[in-house]
Amino acid sequence: MYQQNPNHGIAGGKDMNKVVKFGGSSLASAEQFKKVGAIIRADKERKFVVPSAPGKRSSDDTKVTDMLYACYELAEQGKDFAGQMQAIKDRYQEIIDGLGLKISLDKEFKGIEKNFKEKAGSDYAASRGEYLNGIIMAQYLGYEFVDAASVIRFKADGEHDAELTNQLLKDRLAGVEAAVIPGFYGAYEDGKVKTFSRGGSDITGSIVARAIKANVYENWTDVSGVLVADPRIIYKPEGVETITYRELRELAYMGFSVLHEDAIFPVRSEGIPINIRNTNAPEDNGTWIVESTCQKSKYVITGIAGKKGFCAVNIEKEMMNSEIGFGRKVLQAFEENEISFEHVPSGIDTMTVFVHQDEFIHKEQKVVSGIHRLADPDSIDIEADLALIAVVGRGMKSTRGTAGRIFSALAHANVNVKMIDQGSSELNIIIGVANADFETAIKAIYDIFVISQI
Ligand code: ASP
Question: How many other C-beta atoms can be found within 10 angstroms of the C-beta atom of residue 177?
Answer: 8
d(CA 16, CA 213): 9
Q: Which atom of ligand 1 is nearest the CA belonging to 23?
A: 7
- CA angle at 437 for the pair 433 and 443, rounded to the nearest 5°: 105
* Ligand 1 contacts CB of residue 200 (under 6 A): yes
Q: What is the pLDDT of residue 293?
A: 85
pLDDT digits (tens, 9 = 90+) for 356-401: 999 999 999 999 999 999 999 999 999 999 999 999 998 888 788 8
Nearest CA to ligand 1 atom 6: 199
Confirm if 216 and 18 have CB atoms less than 8 A apart.
yes
For every residue of 66-83, DSSP letters joined together read HHHHHHHHHHHTT---HH
| Best of 62, 130, 220 for a ligand 1 pocket test (most atoms within 8 Å of beta carbon) | 130
Q: Are 184 and 195 in contact (CB under 8 A)?
A: yes
Q: Phi and psi of 346, rounded to 5°?
A: -140, 155
d(CA 383, CA 380) in angstroms, rounded, equals 10
Interatomic CA distance for residues 63 and 178, integer angstroms: 27
Rg (CA), the chain: 25
| Size (the chain), residues | 454
Q: What angle do CA 26, 27, 28 make, to 5 degrees?
A: 100
Residue 221 CA, ligand 1 centroid: distance in Å = 12
pLDDT tens readout for residues 280-302: 999 999 999 999 888 777 888 99
In terms of Cα–Cα distance, which of 185, 202, 302 is closest to 259? 202
pTM comes to: 0.85
pLDDT at 2: 41
Which parts of the chain register pLDDT below 70? 1-15, 453-454
What structural domains and CATH numbers belong to the chain? 18-290 (3.40.1160.10), 303-451 (3.30.2130.10)
Q: How far are the Cα atoms of 35, 130, 325 from residue 12, in angstroms, in the given order?
A: 22, 30, 58
Backbone phi and psi for residue 61, each to the nearest 5 degrees, phi listed first: -85, 170
